[in-house]
Structure 1
C-alpha cells in the first residue's frame, strides 16, 4: 500500500493564492514517487486516531490558529512518536500561541520585505532537499525574516544572501531551509514557496520532494 501524506492548508489569517498550486505540486510528486496525498483544511483530520494513517504531515502555507486543542495534542504525540513533519513557507506564520509548535518548526515568522528576486546559498548539499540545487540559486520570494535565528537548534541547509535583495533584517546569517529531529520525528522546513510559479519550477519541486522524502524515511 502506498504511503499516505496529510497535506494541511487551513488558514485563519493571510491566505496565499499559491496554495492550489502547492496542492497540485505535491499531488503530482506523489504520482511520480509513489505516495498518496490527502489535502484538507479540516481540523478534524487531527482528531481521534486519524494521524496514525500518515507517513508524514505537511503544513502548506497555513496561517493563524489552525488546530483544536485535541489536534495540537495529537500532532505533538505524532511527532514525539517518531513521525515526520514538514512545513512550507507560511507554516512559520502558524500557531503563535502554541509554544510546542515553535520548537517543532524551528522558528517563527517576523516580517518580510516586498516580493523580489534573491540568491539562495546552498550550505549543505548532503540532504535530499538540496542535492540537486545549484550552490547559488536565483529565486523569487518574500524572504521571510524570523523572530530568532534557528541555527543553534537545527541543521541549516540553505540561507539567502541579503546583499542580493532589499529589505532583509538578518544580515549576518539568514537561514531559509533547515531540518532537525528535536523531540521525536524528523522535521524539514523551507521558507520558500510564496508564488504559484515557484511550485511549477522543477528545482523547487526537487527541493520539496527531497524535504518530504527526508521526513518520510
Structure 2
C-alpha cells in the first residue's frame, strides 16, 4: 500500500497544446503526492495563475508560441522569468521537446530548477518535480549531454569533496540531504556551495551542474 504523508504537491501545467495538457494532467493526477492545481496555454496567463493558485511547481513548456496559439507572445523562458520575479515559493520545471544547448542555458539562466524532455520516461519528470519542490534541481541526461565535448580552455578545478557535492546536486538533493549523505553539517554544505559557485562562476544550482558537466568534472547518467 502506498502512503503519501503530507499535502500533495500542487502543480500548474503550462503548455500551448491542449492534448499535451490533458495527457500531463492525467499522468500527474495518477501519481501519488501530486495534484494539478490548474493549466493554461498562455505565458502571461501563467504568471497570473501562479499568483492566484500558488502552486508548488510550474511545469513549463519552453516554446509556448511555436503553434501560434499563445496570445501573450512570450515564450516559456520569459514566463519563467516573470513568475520567479513575483513568487518566492513557486519552482519551475521546463518540459520540452528540445534539448538544445542554447535552450537549456536560457532556461537555467531564467531560474528553472529542472529541464526534462517530453520524450523521457514519466519517472524522470516525477523526480524533477519532487527535486524542484524540495529546493533541488534535476537536468535530463540528454539535455546535460549538450554540454559534453565543449570544455573550457582552462577551468578551475574543484576539490574531491566539492565534486561530491556537485554530483549530489545533479541528482536533485537538497542541502540537508547532501549534508546527511556526506555526514557533514548543513552549514558546511552551504560553505562548499559558496566556494563552488565562485570557482565555476555560477549563480545557482542548475547552472553549477551544467558548468561542471561542461568542464568534465561530473557525468550525468
Query: Which TM-score band applies after superposition, normalised by the shorter structure?
Result: 0.3 to 0.5
Structure with greater strand percent: 1
TM-score, normalised to structure 2, is 0.41
TM-score, normalised to structure 1, is 0.41
RCO higher in 1 or 2 (8 Å CA, sep ≥ 6)?
A: 1
Find the structure with the greater CA-based Rg.
Answer: 2
